[in-house]
Amino acid sequence: MRQIVFKLRDGALRSGAAEVPVDVSPLTPDKLFGEGEDEIKSTKVWWGNRQENVERIFEVSVSGDASGAEEVKVVFEGELRKVKRIGYEMSAGEIVAEGSVGMHCGARMRGGRITVNGSADCWAGCEMHGGTLIIEGDAGDNLCACYRGETTGMTGGTVVVKGNAGECIAQYMAGGEITVRGNADMLAGLDMKGGKIVIEGDAVMPGANMSGGEIIVKGKVIDMMPSFKYEETVTIDGEEYKKYRGDFAIGEKKAKGTLLIRS
């Protein structure tokens, strides 16, 4: 087992009155498992419009050995809100972020596990295909959605958000499962085609343009879509839910989405 710790140096991201984000997409178990300590420290990361050695920005410590990415644990420490693309495209191993993280955490992830001990900014788990993403705090907007122009978002994997989630989560979702313990803001599951979303709190206009998949809302629905059809009341785990089908705005043939709202 190998552990690599990146501790953000105080003030390392400061440039005048600004704090310029750093892109840590090269710092995944996949990319680092075979590298020596010196190589890891001199890995280039983009900080604004120039590349820097990772060591200039993070204190780096490496312990243990690994024969593959799955035996690597990467830990990020410090004030991580301006640290972007943690675990970008990772396929194996583990990443733990000790604090709230910047945008695109776990985006395009295919496997492995990311734990954020804080909140995650927008586009966490975007276009995720596999693996596990646990966010102890809140998730920002476009969680598990897709980048501009794509028409398929998350296709697989598991995501748990223990706090609230922002707008447009899981847009164009096609597979996998998302649980939000708190509330989800506007348009959860927009354009959803498959997979499952469980929102334990409230949701605003969930399921618009849904053509497949399932959304379960345990709290209130604010602004129910006017283009869903009530079908029946069903019982899940001893609780009664109203079951709706939609979205009829896209036509009856395509309206294969299921929206379950606890009554």
Partner 1 sequence: MGGVRVILISGRTLEQGTNLENKLSDEYMNATAVCELSERELEKLGLKGDGTERVRVRTSAGEIVVAAKKGEGYPEGVAFIPMGPWANAVVNGNTKGSGMPFFKGIEAEIEPTDDEIPSIYDLMRRYKE
Partner 2 sequence: MAELLIKNGVVFDPINGVKGEKMDICIRDGKIVESLHDEHGARVIDASGCVVMPGGVDAHAHIAGGKVNAGRLLRPEDGRRGLEPKRGVCKPCTGYSVPNTWATGYRYAKMGYTFVMEPAMPPLTARHTHEELVDTPIIDKAALPLIDNNWMTLQYVRDENYEMLSAYVAWMIRATRGYGIKIVNPGGTEAWGFAKNCGLDDPVPHWDVTPADIIRALAHANERYEMPHSIHVHGNMLGHPGNYETTLRTFDVVKGISASMQRQTMHTTHIQFFCYGGTSWKDFESKADEIAKYVNENEHITIDLGSIILGDTTTMTADGPMEYTLYRLTGRKWTNHDVELETGAGIVPFLYSSRNPVHSVQWTIGLELALLIKNPWKVVLSTDHPNAGPFIGYPILISMLMSKKRRDEVMKEVHPAVFDRSSLASIDRELDFHEIAIITRASAAKILGLHNHGKGHLGVGADADVAIYGISHEESDAGAVQRAFLNAKYTIKCGEIVVKDGEIVATPEGRTFYVEPECEESLMNEVMKDIERLFKEYYTVSLSNYPVQDVYTPHPYVIKAPMSG
Partner 3 sequence: MAVYTDVLCPFCGCICDDIVVEVGEDGKITKVKGACAIGRSKIMGHDRMESPAIREDGELRDCSYDEAIKRAAEILADARRPLLYGWSSTVCETDRAGVELAVEIGAIIDNTASVCHGPSILAIQDVGLPSCTLGQIRNRADIVIYWGSNPVFAHPNHMKRYSYLSKGRFTPGGKKDRKMVVVDVRETKSAKLADLFVKVRPGGDFLVFSALRAILRGHEDVVPDEVAGVEKKDLLSLAEMIKNANFIITFFGMGVTHSGARHNNIANAIEFTRAAHLHTKATIMPMRGHYNVNGFNQVCTWLLGYPFSIDLSQGYPWYNPGETGAVDVLVHGECDAALIISSDPASHFPADAVRHLARIPVIQIDPYPNPTTEFADVVIPSAICGVEAEGSVYRMDSVPLRVRKIVDSKFMADEEIIRRILEEVRAIKEKEGE
Distance in angstroms (rounded) separating the CA atoms of residues 225 and 81:
35
In the list 120, 122, 133, 260, the residue contacting partner 1 (rule: CB under 8 A) is: 122
CB atoms closer than 10 angstroms to residue 125: 33
CB of 23 or CB of 167, closer to partner 1: 167
Name the minimum Å distance from CB 104 to partner 3.
8
Assess contact for 143 and 103: CB atoms under 8 A: no
User: Contact with partner 3 (CB under 8 A): which of 12, 205, 210, 259?
Assistant: 205
Pairing relationship of beta strands 158-161 and 132-135 according to DSSP bridges: parallel
Using CB under 8 A, which of 2, 8, 23, 189 touches partner 3? 23
CB of 253 to partner 2, least distance (A): 10
Q: Which of 11, 16, 36, 149 binds partner 2 (CB under 8 A)?
A: 149
CB 103 within 8 A of CB 123: yes
Q: How far is CA 14 from CA 60, 75, 103, in A?
A: 19, 22, 18
Part in contact with partner 2 (CB under 8 A); list of ranges 66-74, 115-123, 145-153, 195-203: 145-153
* By the rule CB under 8 A, 166 interacts with partner 1: yes
For residue 37, what is the DSSP state? H
**Is residue 106 involved in binding partner 1 (CB under 8 A)?**
no
Q: Integer distance in angstroms from the first to the last C-alpha of the chain? A: 48
> At a CB cut-off of 8 Å and minimum separation 6, what does 86 contact?
24, 27, 76, 80, 95, 97, 101, 102, 104, 105, 106, 114
Nearer to partner 1, 40 or 139 (CB): 139
The residue assigned the tokens 């993070």 is: 58
- Which alpha helices (DSSP H) does the chain contain, by range? 29-32, 37-41, 54-57
Closest approach of partner 1 to the CB of residue 140, in Å: 7
Report the length, in residues, of the chain.
263
Q: Binding string, 183-222, against partner 1, x = CB under 8 A?
A: --x-------------------------------------
Of partner 1, partner 3, partner 2, none, which one does residue 166 interact with (CB within 5 to 8 Å by kind)? partner 1
Say which residue the tokens 């399921």 belong to. 207
Contact status: 228 vs partner 3 (CB under 8 A): yes
Residues engaged in binding partner 2 (CB under 8 A): 147-151, 254
Residues that bind partner 3 in the complex, under the rule CB under 8 A? 15-21, 23, 46-50, 82, 103, 122-123, 141-142, 147-149, 168, 186-187, 190, 205, 208-209, 223, 225-229, 246-252
| Contacts with partner 1, residue ranges (CB under 8 A) | 122-123, 140-142, 166-168, 185
